[in-house]
């Protein structure tokens, strides 16, 4: 706005013409006042405006007034940044930058207050920014004032601390990559820079490294924090030429003690520079991944090969870490001694081959618990109860058994080692209605289905029937060999009152042999000719005896692959004729030959007689009806070579 004074010269109209820098007319507001007129207008463009004023039609000046429109100033839009506003080192310039772009026109002021009068140097960059440096000659706290048009900018005044110069003599440099000799061409190498003793005022960003090959060309290097400790850094590089290399290590552009370092790189490879370490080279467990690491840093160019030999074919995988090392995993499935061979450039590295002992893993999930003493409805008031724990396939470990009743009282249990990893547990059941909780652990871990819960049933009125013998207590039965047990039934008057039924793995019934002994007990035997579970049901007077049905397991025995057919069996035979063939099982070990012939039409077994003498088994049979028959010959529950085929009978 501006005023036009017309007081004392009469009255007339005032005309104001304002032209913008772009040539457009600008609207002006003319307001009469006691002394003349007040003119207001709002400039919307930067640059020169022309103002023409006429009073009574006559211009009051021969030329228009010229008005420059400039940007307004705002100290809040000035920014300052740089390390010198926070900290610095004595006798070294502390630098920062001021950016006035967007703040308009104004004067910039910088002062530094502190323990000493610090000289200030300011350099205008010509783009609205300037670089400022001040030189503190004493340590302590300094105040930096930055003003724009006499107003403090945002953040001003700044507080900076000036610290003593760091003692570079406390920097320690170590590692193969800095040694005068031993570094190999084309092999990644590294060295460590330990700055932990320098003090808290170290700026890690000021550490720099330049490495030059024999021709003076700089080769790439990488500086990363070390995993070993704070304030320790690893510098990695790979020399691609043999000869003298120079390593310049600087802190704030000042060489650290010993810099430049001279490294004489040699060509070729050196397997002795490799190393392997990790738990997988010290020991392992079956069915669990074993791991180790191989480092080839500094060994030069060469191929790495690994091999693992032992009782099982251990699957192996290798992950390249891209830093001159690799992580190796392998999975042994059998216990025993394994040789881990590691070669570099076809030569053993130090320690190779490594001898690793693999032990059985502890596998509580493989423990089997069975028997009437662990089954609901099979535990009776005040009577002994028994169950079995089979740890044969669970690996190393100890069993733990604790029993308690719903009354909160512990139940004493007797644990007996039955051999071959089987344990028998015997206890006396509490009163009827009590709930028994049995915790079964292996290697301090619950086995499958543990804890077991049983409710005590009322005691039977009559004398219970007892069943005992190897077939009911062994963890497993050797297939093809007779399984035997006894039945003690004092109140049974006739053999016909006892019913023993056995079903094999295929669900088909087996006919057992049962004879009464002189002491009144009954001896029962049967041959489990196939591997798998056998269900033995024993009833007296139509009721299951205590513990029935019994679940038995037949397992392979001997070496069936060492059996030999003495002669070939004709695939075409006559019905009604007695046939014979023999099997030589002298080298097959413990076990017996079993044979099964099944008709396709009747799906029933054919009667077979087997005689054994001195390891030879003679098999006799008669095929009574025409048709096709499947013949299956086993030893110890396993098929023998050429022992399965089909016979056509005409």
Q: Does residue 316 share a domain with residue 276?
A: yes
Q: Is residue 529 part of a domain?
A: yes
- The β-bridge partners of 29 are 40
585, part of any domain = yes
Domain containing 6 equals 2-69
Does residue 126 lie in a domain region? yes
What pLDDT, on a 0 to 100 scale, did the predictor assign at position 569? 87
413 and 493 share a domain? no
Tokens linked to 592: 């017996």
Instruction: Tell me if 45 is assigned to some domain.
Output: yes
Predicted confidence at residue 374, as pLDDT, reads 84
CA–CA distance, 554 with 482 (Å, rounded to integer): 11
DSSP code of residue 470: H
DSSP letters along 323-343, please? SSEEEEEEE--S-EEEEEEEE
72 Cβ contact partners less than 8 Å away, ≥ 6 residues apart: 104
Residue 24 is given by DSSP the state -
37 and 14 co-located in one domain: yes
Considering the domain architecture, whether residues 389 and 373 belong to the same structural domain is answered as yes
Q: Which residues contact 391 (CB under 8 A, 6 or more apart)?
A: 366, 367, 397, 399, 421, 422, 423, 442
The span from the CA of 332 to the CA of 532, in Å, is: 27
Do residues 580 and 636 both lie within one domain? Answer: yes
Q: How many CB atoms lie within 10 A of CB 121?
A: 11
Domain boundary among 523, 555, 587: 555
Q: Is 619 exposed, middle or buried (0-12, 13-18, 19+ CB in 10 A)?
A: buried
Whether 396 and 368 map to the same domain: the answer is: yes
Q: Is the domain of 155 the same as that of 180?
A: no
pLDDT of residue 474: 60
Q: Establish if 406 belongs to a structural domain.
A: yes
Long-range contacts, 455-459 (Cβ 8 Å, 24+): 455/376, 455/377, 455/379, 456/379, 456/380, 456/381, 456/429, 456/430, 456/431, 456/432, 457/377, 457/378, 457/379, 457/380, 457/381, 457/432, 458/380, 458/381, 458/432, 459/380, 459/381, 459/382, 459/383, 459/432
Same domain assignment for residues 173 and 260: yes
Residue 194: closest CA among 170, 168, 172, 175: 172
Q: How confident is the model at residue 475, as a pLDDT?
A: 58
Mean pLDDT per 10-residue segment, the chain (650 residues):
87 92 92 91 88 91 87 82 89 92 84 93 90 94 93 93 83 91 84 84 81 91 84 90 91 86 86 91 91 87 89 91 91 92 91 92 87 78 83 86 90 84 86 92 90 86 68 74 83 81 89 81 89 88 79 91 91 89 94 92 79 94 90 94 91
Last residue of a domain, one of 28, 54, 69: 69
Where is the domain boundary, 54, 69, 84? Answer: 69
Are 483 and 510 in a shared domain? yes
Answer yes or no: are the C-beta atoms of 532 and 489 closer than 8 Å: no
Residues 6+ apart with CB under 8 A from 488: 465, 466, 467, 468, 520, 521
Count: domains in the chain:
7
Which pairing describes strands 384-390 and 422-428: parallel, antiparallel, or unpaired? antiparallel
Whether 131 maps to a domain, the answer reads yes
Query: Which are the contacts of 494, defined by CB distance < 8 A and separation ≥ 6?
Result: none
The two three-digit tokens of residue 382, written as one number: 């005040």
Distance CA 81, CA 160 (A): 12
Q: What is the SS3 assignment for 218?
A: strand
Q: Which CATH number does the domain housing residue 422 bear?
A: 2.60.40.10
In a domain, 623, yes or no: yes
- The 10 Å CB-count burial string (b at 16+, else e) for 239-262 is beebeebbbebbbeeeebeebebe
Whole-number Å distance between alpha carbons of 616 and 618: 7
- Looking at the fold, whether 383 and 444 belong to one and the same domain comes out as yes
Answer yes or no: is 460 within a domain: no
Task: Look up residue 438 and give its DSSP letter.
Answer: E
């Amino acid at each position: 706005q501006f005023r036009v004074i017309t007081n004392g010269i009469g009255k007339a109209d005032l005309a104001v013409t304002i032209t913008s820098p772009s040539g457009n007319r600008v609207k002006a507001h003319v307001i009469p006042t006691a002394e003349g007129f007040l003119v207001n207008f709002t400039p919307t463009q930067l640059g020169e405006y022309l103002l023409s004023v006429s009073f009574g039609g006559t211009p009051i000046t021969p030329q228009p007034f010229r008005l420059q429109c400039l940007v307004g100033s705002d100290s809040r839009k000035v920014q300052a940044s740089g390390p010198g506003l926070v900290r610095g080192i004595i006798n070294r310039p502390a630098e920062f930058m001021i950016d006035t772009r967007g703040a308009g026109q104004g004067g910039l002021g910088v002062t530094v207050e502190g323990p000493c009068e610090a000289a200030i140097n300011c350099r205008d960059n010509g783009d609205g920014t300037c670089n400022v440096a001040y030189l503190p000659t004493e340590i302590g706290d300094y105040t930096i004032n930055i003003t724009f048009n006499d107003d403090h900018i945002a953040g001003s005044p700044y507080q900076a601390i000036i610290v003593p110069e760091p003692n570079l003599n406390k920097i320690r440099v170590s590692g193969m990559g800095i040694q005068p000799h031993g570094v190999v061409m084309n092999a990644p190498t590294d060295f460590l820079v330990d700055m932990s003793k320098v003090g808290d005022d170290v700026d890690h960003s000021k550490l720099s490294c330049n490495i030059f090959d024999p021709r003076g060309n700089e080769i790439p290097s990488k500086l990363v924090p070390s995993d070993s400790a704070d304030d320790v850094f690893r510098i990695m590089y790979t020399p691609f030429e043999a000869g003298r290399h120079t390593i310049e290590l600087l802190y704030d552009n000042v060489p650290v003690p010993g810099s430049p370092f001279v490294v004489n790189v040699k060509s070729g490879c050196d397997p002795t520079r490799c190393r392997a370490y990790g738990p997988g080279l010290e020991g392992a467990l079956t069915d669990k991944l074993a791991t180790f690491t191989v480092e080839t840093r500094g060994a030069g160019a060469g191929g790495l090969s690994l091999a693992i030999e032992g009782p099982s074919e251990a699957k192996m995988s290798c992950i390249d870490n891209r830093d001159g090392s690799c992580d190796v995993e392998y999975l042994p499935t059998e216990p025993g001694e394994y040789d881990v061979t590691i070669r570099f450039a076809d030569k053993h590295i130090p320690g190779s081959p490594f001898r690793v002992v693999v032990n059985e893993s502890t596998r509580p999930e493989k423990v089997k618990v069975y028997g009437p003493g662990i089954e609901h409805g099979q535990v009776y008031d005040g009577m002994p109860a028994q169950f079995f724990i089979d740890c044969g396939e669970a690996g190393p470990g100890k069993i733990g058994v604790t029993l308690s009743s719903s009354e909160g009282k512990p139940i004493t249990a007797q644990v007996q080692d039955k051999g071959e990893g089987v344990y028998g547990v015997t206890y006396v059941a509490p009163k009827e209605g009590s709930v028994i909780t049995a915790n079964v652990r292996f290697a301090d871990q619950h086995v499958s289905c543990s804890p077991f819960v049983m409710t005590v049933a009322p005691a039977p009125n009559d004398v219970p029937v007892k069943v005992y013998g190897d077939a009911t207590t062994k963890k497993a039965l050797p297939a093809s060999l007779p399984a035997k047990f006894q039945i003690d039934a004092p109140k049974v008057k006739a053999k016909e009152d006892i019913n023993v039924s056995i079903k094999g793995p295929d669900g088909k019934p087996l006919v057992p042999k049962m004879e009464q002994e002189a002491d009144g007990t009954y001896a029962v035997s049967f041959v489990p000719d196939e591997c798998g579970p056998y269900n033995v049901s024993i009833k007296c007077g139509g009721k299951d005896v205590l513990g029935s049905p019994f679940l038995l397991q037949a397992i392979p025995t001997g070496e069936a692959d060492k059996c030999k057919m003495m002669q070939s069996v004709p695939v075409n035979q006559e019905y009604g004729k007695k046939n014979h063939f023999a099997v030589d099982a002298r080298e097959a070990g413990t076990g017996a030959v079993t044979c099964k012939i099944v008709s396709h039409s009747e799906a029933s077994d054919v009667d077979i007689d087997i005689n054994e003498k001195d390891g030879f088994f003679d098999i006799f049979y008669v095929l009574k009806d025409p048709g096709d028959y499947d013949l299956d010959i086993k030893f110890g529950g396993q098929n023998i070579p050429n022992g399965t085929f089909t016979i056509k009978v005409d």
